[in-house]
């Protein structure tokens, strides 16, 4: 596919890198030439300095031949205008990043399509949905669902009391034979490993587990995590993400929202029906204690300042809050902060890029997603008649070394892959892989 990306901020750069791995023809545009410095010379991406709302520039980059134009600048008006112009000039599909939640309401889908915008991405809503999944899967550091939850990928951090520590993958496979889950990756320090039979699990490892719904409780029990559902949640920050998260959670559990701005606190009382709104700073340890943080199951910090979010979550962790989630704006923070005791980190730009990637469906790849701070990709493929993966049991496929097939969906049923599994045409297959292996993996599904 020929893809033109408008905006070389962190969303655009991450998206360009992610899509270039799949051998798309990528051009990225921005008025600020200095932003292209974040692009590695080893990545096959063409950078263009210029405005995406200039008809002349759009014609120069060949917009009339573009399969897709993605506008992810920091300005909503620029993104919408870019998509409308691109569509009129011949682009087949367009995607715009917007900052107005009203625009993504289902009743306006056809309106925007008539204007030339095929798909709208509202990152704040995507982030709120991600947070809700993490709260509902109380023990997880990451949650990805496939085909409506028929297969789930969970990230779990191993504490020192986990019963599966210092055991090889082979031993664990024997012990839990018959259970519906499979460990597909281990993140240790700054490295991500695709495990072999001889690899062992160590304290503070972050493991990624493919499971069907029936296997989730068993893997959580095996890791020694507390399974009780969350009832009390405190949110710091009443901006777009904070209010959307509170709105999604307030009818399922008790929610307290701390917002230092008095005017915004007043607005939130009209927006939220069942959330206790407290006009308070929330950066002071004593103040957090006064507001009842020690009774919380989870603390979520969603201010616009990443340092505030990290520090307040560390304070909450000091007060024994079981789950902390911090919003960070710098992708580089993620690997660092995962080593200092935080449970989960959310990056709006990475989530936005993942949402767009999942919209870009290829012939045999249903979706592709990156995990926060982990150098790996999760892909969902369709097996075709005659695909290599359908010709032999999984253990005999000679699958790429740094990749692993975790599970598959046949019809309406999710299943976990074992060595004897023989995949069939039309199976939807979930693969965990390091980025350099994607092209090799794809050949098995052609």
My answer on whether 291 and 381 are in the same domain is no
Q: State the pLDDT confidence band at 56, using cuts at 50, 70 and 90.
A: very high
Q: Identify whether residues 317 and 357 lie together within a single domain.
A: no
- What pLDDT is stored for residue 378 in this prediction? 87
Greater pLDDT, 222 or 79? 79
Read off the tokens for 236: 């710091």
Residue 438: inside a domain: yes
Mean pLDDT, rounded, of the chain? 88
Mean pLDDT confidence for 260-265: 92
> Comparing 40 with 438, which gets the higher pLDDT?
438
Based on the domain organization, do 278 and 385 belong to the same domain?
no
- Residue 219 placed within a domain: no
Please indicate, yes or no, whether residues 7 and 117 belong to a single structural domain of this protein: yes
Return d(Cα 432, Cα 445) in angstroms, integer: 14
Q: Find how far residue 218's CA is from the centre of its chain.
A: 24
Whether 11 and 112 share a structural domain: yes
Of the three residues 121, 138, 165, the one that is the final residue of a domain is 121
Residue written as token pair 């959670």: 249
Predicted local distance difference test score (pLDDT) of residue 7: 94
Rounded-to-integer distance, Cα 444 and Cα 446, Å: 6
Comparison of pLDDT for 321 and 175, the residue scoring more:
321
Residues 317 and 362 in one domain: no
Highest mean pLDDT: which of 210-219, 370-379, 395-404?
395-404
pLDDT of residue 71: 97
Question: Does the structure show a pLDDT above 70 at 380?
Answer: yes
Contacts of 329 (CB under 8 A, 6+ apart): 304, 306, 347, 348, 349
The reply to whether 127 falls in a domain is no
CATH number of the domain within which 417 lies: 3.30.70.1450
Do 19 and 116 lie in one domain? The reply is: yes
Residues 364 and 289 in one domain: no
The answer, yes or no, to whether residue 227 has pLDDT greater than 70, is: no
Q: How far is C-alpha 431 from the geometric centre of its chain's CA atoms?
A: 15
* Range(s) of the domain holding residue 401: 352-443
Provide the pLDDT confidence category of residue 442 given band limits of 50, 70 and 90: confident
How far is 389 from 429, CA to CA, in rounded Å?
10
| Per-residue tokens: 157 | 């951090």
Asked if 83 and 15 sit in the same domain, the reply is yes
Residues 50 and 110 in one domain: yes
Taking residues 162-169, what's their average pLDDT?
86
Check which CATH number belongs to the domain holding 238 and give it.
Answer: 3.40.50.720
In a domain, 250, yes or no: yes
> Residue 17: what pLDDT?
81
Report CA torsion sign: 212, 217, 218, 220.
positive
* Cα–Cα distance, 343 to 142 (Å, whole number): 9
Helix axes 10-20, 348-359, angle to 10 degrees: 40
Query: Does residue 366 sit in the same domain as residue 292?
Result: no
Burial of residue 377 (number of CB atoms within 10 Å: 0-12, 13-18, 19+): buried
Residue 146 is assigned to a structural domain of this protein: no
For CA atoms 223, 143, 405, 384, give the dihedral sign: positive
Q: What is the mean pLDDT of residues 77-93?
A: 96
45, part of any domain: yes
Q: Using 50, 70 and 90 to split pLDDT, how confident is the model at 286?
A: confident
pLDDT in tens, 34-45: 888 877 665 778
Name the least confident of 157-166, 296-305, 366-375, 415-424. Answer: 366-375
Whether residue 171 is contained in a domain is answered as no
Tally of domains within the chain: 3
Mean pLDDT calculated for residue range 332-349: 74
Q: Which of 54, 86, 121 is the last residue of a domain?
A: 121
Residues 298 and 399 in one domain: no
Residue 102 sits at φ, ψ, to 5 deg, of -65, -35
Looking at 89, 106, 121, the residue that finishes a domain is: 121
Q: How many helices (H) and strands (E) does the chain have?
A: 14, 22
Q: What does the pLDDT read at residue 28?
A: 94
142 near 135, Cβ under 8 Å? no
* pLDDT on residue 229: 79
For the entire predicted model, the pTM comes to 0.76
- Has residue 342 been placed in a domain? no
Q: What percent of the chain shows pLDDT beyond 90?
A: 50
Q: How far is CA 376 from CA 3, 58, 373, 384, in A?
A: 23, 33, 9, 25
**Pairwise pLDDT comparison (422 vs 354), residue with the higher score:** 422
In which residue are the tokens 């019963």 written?
A: 163
pLDDT at 349 over 90: no
pLDDT digits (tens, 9 = 90+) for 295-304: 999 999 999 9
Q: Highest mean pLDDT range out of 44-48, 290-294, 395-399?
A: 395-399
Cα–Cα distance for residue pair 234/280, rounded to 1 Å = 12
Measured between its terminal Cα atoms, the distance across the chain in Å is: 16
State how far the Cα of 168 lies from the Cα of 166, in Å rounded to an integer: 7
Q: How confident is the model at residue 372 (pLDDT cuts 50, 70, 90)?
A: low
């Amino acid at each position: 596919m020929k893809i033109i990306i408008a905006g070389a901020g962190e969303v655009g750069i991450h998206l360009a890198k992610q899509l270039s791995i799949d051998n798309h023809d990528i051009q990225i545009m921005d008025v600020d030439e200095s932003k292209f410095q974040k692009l590695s010379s080893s990545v096959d991406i063409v950078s263009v300095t210029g405005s995406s709302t200039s008809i002349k520039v759009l014609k120069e980059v060949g917009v009339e031949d573009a399969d897709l134009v993605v506008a992810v600048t920091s300005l909503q008006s620029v993104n919408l205008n870019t998509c409308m112009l691109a569509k009129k000039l011949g682009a087949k599909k367009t995607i715009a990043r917007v900052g107005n939640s009203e625009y993504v309401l289902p009743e306006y889908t056809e309106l925007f399509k008539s204007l030339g915008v095929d798909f709208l991405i509202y990152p704040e809503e995507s982030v709120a949905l991600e947070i809700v999944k993490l709260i509902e899967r109380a023990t997880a550091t990451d949650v990805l669902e496939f085909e409506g939850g028929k297969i789930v990928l969970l990230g779990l951090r191993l504490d020192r009391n986990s019963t599966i520590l210092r055991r090889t993958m082979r031993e664990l496979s024997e012990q839990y034979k018959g259970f519906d889950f499979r460990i597909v990756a281990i993140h240790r320090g700054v490295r991500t490993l695709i495990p072999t039979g001889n690899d062992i699990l160590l304290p503070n490892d972050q493991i990624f587990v493919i499971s069907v719904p029936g296997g989730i409780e068993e893997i959580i029990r095996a890791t020694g995590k507390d399974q009780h559902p969350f009832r009390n949640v405190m949110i710091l920050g009443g901006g777009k993400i904070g209010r959307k998260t509170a709105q999604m959670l307030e009818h399922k559990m008790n929610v307290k929202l701390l917002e230092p701005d008095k005017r915004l606190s007043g607005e939130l009382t009209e927006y939220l029906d069942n959330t206790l709104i407290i006009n308070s700073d929330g950066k002071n340890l004593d103040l957090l204690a006064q507001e009842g943080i020690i009774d919380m199951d989870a603390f979520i910090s969603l201010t616009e300042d990443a340092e505030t979010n990290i520090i307040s979550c560390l304070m909450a962790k000091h007060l024994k809050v079981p789950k902390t989630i911090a919003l960070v704006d710098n992708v580089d923070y993620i690997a660092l902060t995962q080593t200092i005791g935080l449970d989960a980190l959310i990056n709006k730009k990475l989530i936005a890029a993942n949402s767009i990637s999942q919209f870009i469906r290829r012939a045999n790849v249903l979706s592709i997603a990156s995990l926060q701070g982990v150098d790996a990709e999760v892909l969902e493929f369709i097996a075709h008649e005659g695909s290599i993966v359908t010709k032999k049991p999984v253990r005999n496929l000679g699958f790429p070394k740094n990749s692993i097939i975790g599970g598959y969906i046949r019809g309406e049923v999710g299943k976990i892959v074992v060595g004897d599994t023989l995949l069939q045409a039309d199976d939807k297959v979930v693969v965990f892989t390091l980025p350099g292996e994607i092209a090799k993996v794809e050949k098995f599904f052609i």
